[in-house]
Structure 1
Amino acid sequence: MTQPPPTPPEHPGQPAPPPPGQYPQQPQPTAAPQYPQPTAAPQYPQPPAAAYPHPQHQPQQPAPGAPSFQQAAPGYPRAPQPPGYPTAPHHPGAPAHPYAQAPASLTVPPQYPQAPVPPAAPSPAAPSAPAAPQAPAGADDADHPHHISTGPRRVHLSAHQRRTDATTVGSLLLHLPNFLCSLFVVVLISLLFGDFGPVLILAWLATGALVFHRPTERALARRLLRLRYPTPQERAKLEPVWQEVTTRAGVDGRVYELWVEDSDHLNAVAAAGHIVGVTRFAMTDLPNGELAAVMAHELGHHVGGHAWSGLLGHWYALPGRLAWRVLRVMTTVMFKVSQAFSCFGVLFFGLVVGGIALATISSLYGLPLLVLGVPYALAAVGRRSELRADQHAAALGFAPMLASVLEKMHHEEQQATAALAARNGGAPPEESTLGKLLASHPDYYTRLHHLQPYLRPQRH
């Protein structure tokens, strides 16, 4: 018979071992001690909210002695507390937390309603002073409608700086009779020099090259045209405008020389091959846009060849014109002498002069008769060249400025006509038909008519 295992001794406070075949049971956890629940924070009466212009931003004013952490920033709503967030217990008699009192700078004083301010009585409106009339824009004013910008920019030079248009060719052809007459006079004079005569003829023909000689051009500008070099102040005004004109035309402006004429009239001149002259009035009294239009017109004479062809024809016609003046003087003297011999002397004078004229016409195939009509033809070509120069200026964008300049020139002509009529007793002077045919410039209405295509707005 087997003996049961001995039972271990029991110790006080220790659980008894489980019987065989049974697992030990886990000890049951003891219940957590129950603490007293914290009492709710005392609720303080809230003062009435101050009146703000926006009711959604009405801050609450704290009661005296209340902790400032319950007060939100002024003008902003208090951020809501998350649900279930534990509240710090507050034990009676415990000292106040160090951050319970907010600084005095964060407390918002109570806002009291302001007393309504009575509206001020409307003061009688003071009578407004009349606006001072604006002075018209001066010639140098940047607000002038004909003021242009003359700043530096890139220059594109044209491949052909000069050309020979139809008016230039016509001018050279019309000067041919004058040239032949001058050649005839030079040949007659060369007969007086014997063997040295042909050299004299060749020398006279070579003098035409002096038209393009710079020192000769300057001498002609001073002596014949009464021009002078501009002062530094005048050059400072002329050169930017000239640079703008030549830039638009694609022309090298350094080839030409700027000169000034001391005149109080509106005028300009293109002479020889490189002279561009303007009057003092045009330089000082015109806006730079209108001055540019005047210079562009004169540049058109140079580019088209009108200036050098006219001067060359005038140069080669000088011997013939001098001979014609001498012949007129001699004829006048002979006529006065013949009058001393009564009617027989006058008849004899007429026969002599008529025989010479008939012999001249028959020997020169009527060339002298053609010379009589040359001045009218040259005047017509000159008027055409003026219209071509106007077209050149208008094509560069100066059509409105050029029209204004033409209007001013027309006004000057009207004033001169009125002054002449006043001296004649009120009767306006009448221009003859021959005077109109010999005019070197077209009238104002003709020039303005040819500018109309450039003055109309472009249609796209």
Structure 2
Amino acid sequence: MTLPIALISLSVVAFTFSLINPGLGLFMAIAWLLSGPLIFHRSVEAAIAQRLLGMRQPTPQEAARLWTVWEQVTRRAGVNQGTYVLWVQERAELNATAAAGHIVAVTRHAMDRLPNSQLAAVLAHELGHHVGGHTWAAMLADWYALPARTVGRWIFAGLTGLLKSRNVVGVSCGGCLSLFILWFLYVYTFEASMWWLVLPVMAAPLFITWLHRRAEHRADDYAAGLGFGTQLMSVLAAEHQAQAGPGMHPPGTPPQSDHPAVRGAHTNFEARLRHLQRVEAGRR
């Protein structure tokens, strides 16, 4: 799904450095292609967790409780307990996050509110993401899409700034640039026969949303298969209630992160709850 935007990112990298030197452009394009696996190095993952995802290492008291619960989950799953690293996020939701290749982060709110049985359920769900390869695929997709998305955000921010300006010249320039971009996309898509690249890029967000939803259901299935279905349904019901009612989050806690590595993963609690109820009913 993200291959077309990855190709655009590669073109952005090659073109940018080719302005300095054509050989440098080729070298940086190859280096960019080979850079993906580096983001799964433990030190790089730790930097991503701290600086981009707002995670922190647990305190000794938090670590003692987390490792006790985590040992129960990994023992049921038959997974080496030390394969993944546990972190804590300052977020106002009763959930956890699987990120990068070896990181499982639980929110401090979940640590404060959930008993060990329900905490184990959300950790089992995140382990399901890792076992299913969801976190690896998502991180690689986001990494290779980064240059194209960055340029897209710059263009969008520039156009928005021009169109919102109170200057007649600025608004006129913004309108002309918008029309030029639309004309360029039309020519590039149809007259240059590059529809195979442009149309998938436009349709990719819809497919990725569907894939995220499918990954959540599979991770829920994994947790239920380990025997945590009832506890996970309790957590989802509480989160759905908090999501439906404004002002349910405790004061002083930030909202859910919008970083691509974690966004959209836990938002449709009602659909996940209905899915788990069907799964548990089938198991009975």
- For the criterion TM > 0.5, the same-fold answer is yes
The SS at the match of 2:98 is strand
* Partners of 1:341 and 1:325 in 2: CA distance: 19
Question: Is the aligned partner of 1:412 residue 2:242?
Answer: yes
* Partners of 1:341 and 1:295 in 2: CA distance: 51
Contact 2:217 / 2:272 at 8 angstroms: preserved in 1?
yes
How do residues 4-403 of structure 1 correspond to structure 2 at under 5 angstroms? 174-192=1-19, 193-332=21-160, 339-340=168-169, 352-361=180-189, 362-363=191-192, 365-366=194-195, 367-403=197-233
* Partners of 2:5 and 2:171 in 1: CA distance: 37
Corresponding residue number in structure 2 for 1:455: 280
Contact 1:227 / 1:261 at 8 angstroms: preserved in 2?
yes
CA deviation profile, 1:410-454 (whole Å, cap 9, x unmatched): 1211222789xxxxxxxxxxxxxxxxxx95546333222222344
Q: TM-score, normalised by structure 2?
A: 0.84
* Partners of 1:443 and 1:341 in 2: CA distance: 40
Contact 1:338 / 1:346 at 8 angstroms: preserved in 2?
no
Contact 1:297 / 1:393 at 8 angstroms: preserved in 2?
yes
Q: TM-score, normalised by structure 1?
A: 0.53
- Over 3 Å counting, the alpha-carbon distance change for 1:358 and 1:235 in structure 2 is same
Contact 2:5 / 2:148 at 8 angstroms: preserved in 1?
yes
| Identical pairs, percent | 43
- Aligned residue identity for 1:302: H
- Unmatched 5+ residue regions in structure 1? 1-173, 420-437
Larger Rg, first or second structure (1 or 2): 1
The SS at the match of 2:55 is coil
CA deviation profile, 1:15-36 (whole Å, cap 9, x unmatched): xxxxxxxxxxxxxxxxxxxxxx
- Over 3 Å counting, the alpha-carbon distance change for 1:240 and 1:357 in structure 2 is same
Contact 2:88 / 2:106 at 8 angstroms: preserved in 1?
yes
- Unmatched 5+ residue regions in structure 2? 250-262
| Alignment counterpart, residue 270 of structure 2, candidates 419, 442, 445 | 445
Corresponding residue number in structure 2 for 1:136: none
Contact 2:117 / 2:231 at 8 angstroms: preserved in 1?
yes
The SS at the match of 1:400 is helix
Which one has more relative contact order, counting CA pairs under 8 Å at least 6 apart?
2
CA-atom RMSD in angstroms: 2.7
Residue-pair matches, total: 267
* Partners of 2:106 and 2:220 in 1: CA distance: 16
Please state which structure has a larger fraction of its residues in helix: 2
- Aligned residue identity for 2:149: R
